[in-house]
Amino acid sequence: MALIVKKPRGTEDVLPRDSYRWQFLEELFRQEARAFGYREIRTPVFEHTNLFERGVGDTTDVVQKEMYTFDTKGGDSVTLRPEGTAGAARAVLEHGLFNDPLPIKAYYLVSCYRYEKPQAGRLREFHQFGMECYGTKHPAADAEMIAAVKSIFDRLGVRGLKLEINSIGCKACRDDYHRALHDYFDQYRDELCDDCKERLERNPMRLLDCKNDHDHEIAASAPTVLEYLCDECREHFEQVQHYLDAAGIRYTVNPRIVRGLDYYSKTVFEFISDDIGAQSTVCGGGRYDALIEDLGGNPLPALGFALGIERLLLTLDAQRIEIPAPAPCELYIGAMGDEASRRAFALCMQLRQAGICAECDVVGRGLRAQMKYADKLHARYCMVLGDNELAQRSAKLKNMLTGEQEEISLDFDAFLSRFAALSAAENYTIPEEM
């Protein structure tokens, strides 16, 4: 039988030797979210399909072409989440979180699924860190959301990301814009792809993010939404910019940003990297004041963003920003003979309970092979137990970096206090901040 050794196209494994990079980022995201008053929300990896059809929008590429949708054995249509916003909004409604003090602040770390053509930075299974805030219309909230993302990039030392912002208006002012877009694209109707012909009637804004090259060229000269904003949306967008200016956050207004999902209104924004190729948007977000109502709730303005973790890792690689590797094994205890093996095993267990990463042989290797393995682990300290050491109740502890050795008592309390003092002198914990 052929071995099954190939992962599905567009997915990636994170191996034990690399997972510390993910863990470091995840911890940084959590710290950042906590600092802004956000708590974690966890929602199912699959939802009823109509949540995404209604929430993300059935004229979007995501819903029309990219969803992993299937019928359950019970006959329900469910979909693997293509993004995190719709599920979080559904949970806010289902659990009546709108009764909590506003604004409600929730963050998530999720895997997402989109059946796209894989390329660098574009996967079929990818991961997002996102923050969502419900219950405020105020422009300060838009600026705060953008500031939260910026602060993550700053802490990581990421340089040169471009922040582009736009306002795509509210439902009221968008009617005029839709008419203008319709009139514009109607001249090119025969040249448009079949999807866009349909979008032209149902949601002309979606023509602006069609991935077809020719449609893209036509869209480049289409009217921009900023010319059609109502007074309230214009004022809101100006205020967002004033807050960003006050915080010293640099941005460009790009009237061509419309985002590929239907729920947005007013402010939208993207952080773009020049270092990672065509899939350059590392983070995208914006306001979605009508989504909760569209899902059947009472009006509740909201906004958020999601950052693609794979694209962030690509950016870090391109900028040669290294994530600190975790501390290696702190102590390897080699053993010669059965009695010594059992003592090494027991000592390791005690040390682990004291929070020390200690290892001993569980493979049945001879001493030479054990020490070779300890070397490959980059163990900081090594110690060998044999009959002599057991009889004398002490052993030689070797610092593998410096080669220095010292005699250490095997009496556990004495051992622990000396070992802890040595470890503390060498700072090899993961720093909280880089």
Rule CB under 6 A: which residues touch ligand HAM?
83-85, 114, 116, 121-123, 126, 128, 130, 132, 260-261, 281-286, 288, 304-306, 308, 310-311
Kindly tell me which of 211 and 396 has the beta carbon lying closer to ligand HAM: 211
Q: How far is the CB of 259 from ligand HAM (least distance, A)?
A: 6
Report the C-alpha dihedral over residues 85, 88, 93, 94, rounded to 10 degrees.
140
The three-state secondary structure class of 9 is coil
The DSSP line for 190-225 is: GGS-HHHHHHHHH-GGGGGG---HHHHHHHTTSPPG
CA distances (Å), 152 to each of 36, 182, 248, in order? 12, 39, 16
The CA distance from 24 to 19, in Å, is 9
Residue 62: CB minimum distance to ligand HAM, A: 7
Cβ distance to ligand HAM smaller for residue 310 or 389: 310
Q: How far is the CB of 18 from ligand HAM (least distance, A)?
A: 17
Find the shortest distance in angstroms from Cβ 303 to ligand HAM. Answer: 7
Q: What is the DSSP letter of 56?
A: I
- What whole-number distance in Å separates Cα of residue 36 and Cα of residue 129? 14
- The least distance separating ligand HAM from the CB of residue 375, rounded to whole angstroms, comes to 38
Nearer to ligand HAM, 44 or 366 (CB): 44
Name which of 311 and 343 has its Cβ closer to ligand HAM.
Answer: 311
Contacts of 69 (CB under 8 A, 6+ apart): 49, 77, 78, 79
CA distances from residue 416 to 63, 285, 346, 401, 424 in whole angstroms, order as listed: 58, 50, 14, 20, 12
Which residue, 52 or 415, is less far from ligand HAM as judged by CB?
52
CB of 141 to ligand HAM, least distance (A): 12
Which residue's CB is nearer to ligand HAM, number 282 or number 333?
282
- CA–CA separation, 239 vs 236, rounded Å? 5
Q: Both tokens of residue 317?
A: 């690689």
Of 110 and 360, nearer to ligand HAM (C-beta) is 110
Shortest Å distance, C-beta 172 to ligand HAM: 21
CB of 132 to ligand HAM, least distance (A): 5
Q: Which is nearer to ligand HAM, 71 or 274 (CB)?
A: 274
Choose between 47 and 132: whose C-beta lies nearer to ligand HAM: 132
Total number of residues shown for the chain: 434
Question: Directed axis angle between helix 194-202 and helix 171-186, to 10°?
Answer: 140
Q: Which of 4, 92, 77 is nearest to 43 (CA)?
A: 92
DSSP bridge partners of 333: 360, 383
Q: Which is nearer to ligand HAM, 118 or 328 (CB)?
A: 118
Minimum distance, C-beta of residue 149 to ligand HAM, in the bound complex (Å): 10
Residue 168, number of CB atoms within 10 A of its CB: 27
Distance CA 267, CA 144 (A): 12
Task: Tell me the closest approach of the beta carbon of residue 290 to ligand HAM, in angstroms.
Answer: 13
Structural contact between residues 164 and 251, judged by C-beta atoms closer than 8 angstroms: yes
Neighbours of 2 (CB within 10 A): 4
Angstrom distance (rounded) from CA 424 to CA 415:
14
Cβ of 143: how many Cβ atoms within 10 Å? 23
Least Cβ distance, residue 356 to ligand HAM (angstroms): 38
Minimum distance from residue 277 beta carbon to ligand HAM (Å):
12
Q: How many CA atoms lie within 13 A of 324 on its CB side?
A: 14
Backbone angles phi, psi at 308, to 5 degrees: -85, 120
Pairing between β-strand 281-287 and β-strand 265-272 as defined by DSSP bridges: antiparallel
Residue nearest to ligand HAM (CB): 308
Nearer to ligand HAM, 83 or 330 (CB): 83
- The smaller minimum CB distance to ligand HAM, of residues 305 and 415, is found at 305
